[in-house]
Amino acid sequence: MAGAITAGDFRNGVTFEMDGNVLQIIEFQHVKPGKGAAFVRTKCKNVITGSVIERTFNPTDKFETAFVERKDMQYLYNDGELYYFMDTETYEQLPLNADVLGDGFKFVKEEMMCKVISYKGNVFAVEPPMFVELEVVDTEPGFKGDTATNATKPATLETGAQIKVPLFIDVGTKIKIDTRTGEYLERA
């Protein structure tokens, strides 16, 4: 097999072909029981239909890697259920449904670059930048002298997303966020 992968090499985001379908690993766990053979427990998303299945594999099971196209595109705007992205080389616009955007998209604002991920022309996911800088538009005021370690408060960002931030962050502060975890990293 030209682009083969074994189940023992599964990681989140890996895409492979099985029974004519293309599956993407959402979660995986290598299990080594005290008795018997090791196995890989997975949650896979069928990238064509969007359905999610749970399945276990033998770590030596081999699959053909699915060649998935990842293209940098700029997020332009949304209009109801459609979100418009632009290919910055051809200026072609691509409208996508909200259901392919994923959780991290709540941190994306207009003009940010994202990776639009497709298989044979069907877009099945949009990956936001790993780190984004956004402004806090609403949060309780911090208290002078409150230096409790790891104490946080809720904050609303300019995209409408809500996250927990340290107490010293005020409205108007630009902060850096990890879009994979939704966590505050630092002041921008």
Q: Domain segments of the chain: what residues? A: 4-65, 69-127, 131-187
Q: How confident is the model at residue 185 (pLDDT cuts 50, 70, 90)?
A: very high
| The predicted structure's pLDDT at residue 49 | 78
Quick one: what percent of the chain has pLDDT higher than 70? 95
**Alpha-carbon distances, residue 43 vs 55, 117, 118, 159 (angstroms):** 6, 19, 20, 30
What is the band of 1 on the pLDDT scale with cuts at 50, 70, 90? very low
Check for a shared fold between 4-65 and 69-127: no
- Name the architecture of domain 69-127: Beta Barrel (2.40)
* Among the ranges given (87-96, 117-126, 129-138), the one the predictor scored with the smallest mean pLDDT: 117-126
Q: What sign does the dihedral 118-119-121-122 (CA atoms) show?
A: negative
For the structural domain made of 4-65, what CATH number should be given? 2.30.30.30
DSSP state of 123: E
131-187: CATH architecture: Beta Barrel (2.40)
Alpha-carbon span 35 to 57, nearest angstrom: 17
pLDDT tens digits for range 40-84: 999 998 887 778 999 999 999 999 998 888 899 999 999 998 999
pLDDT of res. 137: 96
Average pLDDT score over residue span 128-144: 89
